[in-house]
Amino acid sequence: MTIDNIDVKATLKRVQVLLDEEPNLSPALRSTLEVLILVVQLMVGRLSLSSRNSSKPPSTDRFPTSKKPKEGEAKKTGGQKGRVGTTLKKVENPDRIENLPVDRRALPEGEYTEVGYESRQVFNIEIQRVVTEYRAQILEDALGQRFTAAFPLEVSKAVQYGNGVKAQAVYQSQYQLIPYNRVQEYFRDQLQLPISQGSVFNFNQQAHAALEQFELTLINRLLTSRVLHSDETGININGTNHWLHCVSNPQWTLFYAHAKRGMDAVVSKEVLPHFEGYLQHAERQIDQIRRRVLEGETIPHEEKVFSIFQPHTEWVQKGKAGVPVELGLKVCVLEDQHGFILHHQVMQKTTDEQVAVAMTQKANERFQGLSSVSYDKGFHSPANQTELQSHVDRVILPKKGRLSAIDRERQSDPIFVRLRKRHSAVESAINALEAHGLDFCPDHGIEGFHRYVGLAVLARNIQRLGVILREKEARARRGPYKKAA
């Protein structure tokens, strides 16, 4: 760091070298000099801090430095290639038309006929004061009673500033950041309108109060967003450092100033504490990393999030060779003996044994006469065995684990074995659904997932119907088979 053309770091380094080379210094003096060098280093270090190398706000920078151009950035001044320029264009309906006749005195003698005109347009502005006087009619009856017309609600005083003056003052002071005294000068010099700095301040306060409902609407819009950007920067308010906080999405932006930078400022506007978008995911990830890495805790499975874009995504244990796990949602399908899917269910935070009875009930309600049902071992539970028997005549539900004598007898029954062998046909329906696009859902959200699965099941049943009709037509063309001689 250089102060008054003195390289402070190089000077301190030379002093330290001279101090090390001097053998005749007393211990007390040497310690004193070393402490002084340390103090100077600390002070120089604090002077060198700025908004570029620390958390200090830009408003506290004492020695602003100009930005150095990037290497290889040799752009010419003026408009760059590919830019979209701004050019004045003629308007169809000008506010004022000035007709310019030809000075016939400067023309040669002869007969002339008007054939049109050539136009040029000049864009200008008019800055002027407009005073509107409201005169309320007064009527008097025969008894001398007077009746006065009502003034507009916004006209409450004998002389007052209009909304146009207030809006212009607020725009200049708050958006263009013009000081109050210069706003006062503008109205006095340009509009011959006397206005005090206190009036400008009051206009800003009125605008702030009028925007309260808009701010509530803005906060509600931000809370319904999926993504929020949050940041802050330092600002100077009446000579005191404050923080300008910003919370925004692509459509809406909320700015507010606060004396604090941390949680007190965040809580003051009731936005981020109630936001359920990606910031919540970041806080959860930070919490889980701390618990898992620093505290050695095993994170419960139900607390984990596997996709911030599709929060309904689950960790699916396939239990199959090659693909032990997948990310997504399981779908349960119930197929009849003809290959049609009678019912399906998206198994969100649901296990196999929790859907068996509900699937059977729904299918039985839609298609009367359901006599038997077959499920994998994963759907087994003692309660399911009992409950399913009250809905269908025969339940084909193998038991998990060690079989008792009664279970072995039940599962070795010829009818049980025959119906169990037919169960593999449903795997063909599952493979067909996956082969025709259900292995990946391109729709977003859980509603889109349900819709996509339903359409896939419908398409599978239509395809199955087409196969049956095509086979029927093929048999009709072939005719009955002849018996061998």
Model confidence over 228-275: pLDDT tens digits? 888 888 888 888 889 999 998 888 999 999 998 877 888 888 787 777
Model confidence over 331-380: pLDDT tens digits? 888 888 888 888 899 988 888 888 888 888 888 888 877 888 888 888 88
Residue 149 scores a pLDDT above 90: yes
Residue 276 scores a pLDDT above 70: no
Q: Which two tokens stand for residue 233?
A: 């920067």
Question: What is the CA 79 to chain-centroid distance, rounded?
Answer: 34
> Other C-beta atoms within 10 Å of 108: how many?
6
Q: Which two tokens stand for residue 282?
A: 């970041």
What's the chain's length in residues?
Answer: 485
Q: Would you state the pLDDT for residue 434?
A: 83
Round the average pLDDT of the chain to a whole number and report it.
Answer: 84
Model confidence over 371-417: pLDDT tens digits? 888 888 888 888 888 888 888 888 888 888 888 888 888 888 888 88
Residue 86 scores a pLDDT above 60: yes
Least reliable range by pLDDT among 132-136, 236-240, 306-310, 333-337: 306-310
Report CA-CA distances (Å) from 396 to 164, 345, 357, 359, 421. Answer: 81, 20, 13, 14, 10
SS3 at position 182: helix
> What whole-number distance in Å separates Cα of residue 33 and Cα of residue 49?
25
9's enclosing H/E stretch is helix 8-21
Query: Across the strands, what pairs with 236?
Result: 241
Residue 171 scores a pLDDT above 70: yes
Mean pLDDT of 413-432: 80
Q: Would you state the pLDDT for residue 377?
A: 82
Query: Across the strands, what pairs with 332?
Result: 345
Residue 132 scores a pLDDT above 70: yes
Burial grade of 280 (CB within 10 A; 0-12, 13-18, 19 or more): middle
Of the candidates 399, 329, 407, 393, the one whose C-alpha atom is nearest the C-alpha of residue 364 is: 393
Residue 465 scores a pLDDT above 80: yes
Q: What is the pTM of this model?
A: 0.45
Q: Would you state the pLDDT for residue 321?
A: 64
Which has the higher per-residue pLDDT, 463 or 53?
A: 463
Model confidence over 18-58: pLDDT tens digits? 888 888 878 888 888 888 888 888 887 777 777 777 777 77
Question: What is the CA 302 to chain-centroid distance, rounded?
Answer: 25
Residue 64 scores a pLDDT above 70: no
Q: What are phi and psi of 73, to 5 degrees?
A: -100, 85
Label residue 425 by pLDDT band (50, 70, 90): confident
Mean pLDDT of 304-317: 80
